[in-house]
Amino acid sequence: MKFALFTLLIAFKYQEIEAHGRLLDPPSRSSCWREFPKKCVVEYTDNQQYCGGANVQWEQNKGKCGICGDDWEGPKLYERGGDRYPDFVVRTYESGQVIEVKVELTANQKGWFEFRLCDADYLYEQGLDADHKCLDKNLLKDLDGKSRFMIDPKEFQFKFKLVLPSGLTCKRCVFQWKYHSGNRYGIDPITKEGGRGLGIQEEFYGCSDVTIDSSSTTTKNKFFSTSFKRTTTQPIVTEELTTEEMITIEEITEEIIDEEIPTTTRSISLCSKDGYFPDVSKDCTEYYICKNYVKINQIKCPNDLKFNKELNICDWPSASKCF
């Protein structure tokens, strides 16, 4: 009997911490290293911003959590002043724009997502970060007016089209993803009904730094604003196309937005679609990133890992199929 009870407690504890997820686009402060490895601290457990765990959040901290998923009473590693705070803008949008948001769950425990936005300019002027009060002012909705998105328990990759508030502009806005999981057994505090998904549940958060501009000429791609000057009437295609049908066009004048990339006139690679793709020629030990059909970065996986196309992460070689 004691052994059975011990086994049950272990199983419950495992279930309690099983859910995992991350905000990939706009890349959160804890996950931005996957796209900007030179600007962000590498954190392989970026899918574990869960407020210290359900018991810590709800029993010790009365439901409170840091805006980026840090333990309310612990060090706020990903908030302004924290050891892992990247302090740079990852995306530039337009006021009122419909943006695509991407979330990945590495362990799906049902529940729902919500997304919020804080105009943090006045807070940054005071040396502060966004807070929940500011974030609650803008609960983002999709084109159908929906603000809470129930999770299909069979899915792990999620994309949403969200509408940014019309008239809101900021140099520093904080975009927040909230995941309220729904797989724990508990008791509803109001109805006193018991069951799965009721009572206290594990929550995950991710926050990203973005700029929202009012100009209709805002560059959708943070890195490149390109104009093309062709010496031939047709684009020059590489002899061997990759699986993503990449082409090269010569004599392209680039207006470089990112300060780390010098302004130059050279060839750049275009992609047939946006996303993360393994470099098969490097046996998938490297991957490249395409934004707005432009190859913007090539990244080498650390520690002999290989790029896992199914999860869009650097993974153990045994778990990654190079194709």
Residue 129 shares a structural domain with residue 236: no
> Final residue of a domain: which of 213, 236, 262?
213
DSSP 8-state class, residue 273: S
Q: Is the residue at 203 inside a domain?
A: yes
pLDDT at 114: 97
Residue 65 shares a structural domain with residue 165: yes
Q: Is the residue at 88 inside a domain?
A: yes
For the record, the structure tokens of 290 come out as 């395409």
If DSSP codes are grouped into helix, strand and coil, which group holds residue 114?
A: strand
Q: Is the residue at 218 inside a domain?
A: no
Structurally, the chain folds into a number of domains equal to: 2
> Final residue of a domain: which of 213, 241, 270?
213
pLDDT at 317: 80
Task: For 282-299, give one letter per residue: b (16+ CB within 10 A) or e.
Answer: bebbbbbbbbbebbbbeb
CATH classification of the domain holding 23 = 2.70.50.50
Q: Is the residue at 3 inside a domain?
A: no
If DSSP codes are grouped into helix, strand and coil, which group holds residue 42?
A: coil
Using DSSP bridges, classify how beta strands 194-196 and 185-187 pair: parallel, antiparallel or unpaired. Answer: antiparallel
Residue 45 shares a structural domain with residue 159: yes
Residue 148 shares a structural domain with residue 53: yes
Residue 36 shares a structural domain with residue 94: yes
For the record, the structure tokens of 80 come out as 């302004």
Q: What is the pLDDT along the chain (323 residues), one digit of tens a residue?
A: 444 444 434 444 444 445 689 999 999 999 999 999 999 999 998 898 989 988 899 999 999 999 999 999 988 999 999 999 999 999 999 999 999 999 999 888 889 999 999 999 999 999 999 999 999 999 999 999 999 999 998 889 999 999 999 999 999 999 999 999 888 877 877 888 888 878 788 999 999 999 999 865 444 444 333 333 333 333 333 333 343 333 332 333 333 334 344 444 445 677 878 888 888 888 898 888 888 778 888 888 877 788 888 777 787 787 777 76
67 is in which domain, residue-wise?
12-213
Residue 59 shares a structural domain with residue 205: yes
Q: Is the residue at 298 inside a domain?
A: yes
Residue 68 shares a structural domain with residue 19: yes
> Final residue of a domain: which of 171, 189, 213?
213
Q: How far apart are CA 69 and CA 53, in angstroms?
A: 10
Nearest to 264 by CA among 274, 251, 278: 251
Residue 34 shares a structural domain with residue 150: yes
Q: Is the residue at 5 inside a domain?
A: no
pLDDT at 305: 82
For residue 206, give the H/E element and its range. Answer: strand 203-213
pLDDT at 18: 55
Q: Is the residue at 1 inside a domain?
A: no
Residue 61 shares a structural domain with residue 181: yes
Q: How far apart are CA 189 and CA 185, in angstroms?
A: 13
Residue 230 shares a structural domain with residue 253: yes
58 in Cβ contact with 39 (< 8 Å): no
| Other residues' Cβ atoms within 10 Å of the Cβ of residue 197 | 17
Q: How far apart are CA 118 and CA 120, in angstroms?
A: 6
Torsion of CA 141, 30, 170, 216, to 10 degrees: -70
Residue 209 shares a structural domain with residue 261: no
Nearest to 98 by CA among 50, 144, 54: 144
Using DSSP bridges, classify how beta strands 275-278 and 286-291 pair: parallel, antiparallel or unpaired. Answer: antiparallel
If DSSP codes are grouped into helix, strand and coil, which group holds residue 168?
A: coil
Q: Is the residue at 2 inside a domain?
A: no
Backbone angles phi, psi at 274, to 5 degrees: -90, 155
Residue 249 shares a structural domain with residue 314: yes
Q: Angle 30-308-32 (CA atoms, 0-180°, nearest 5)?
A: 20
Token pair 């999770």: residue = 151
pLDDT at 260: 42
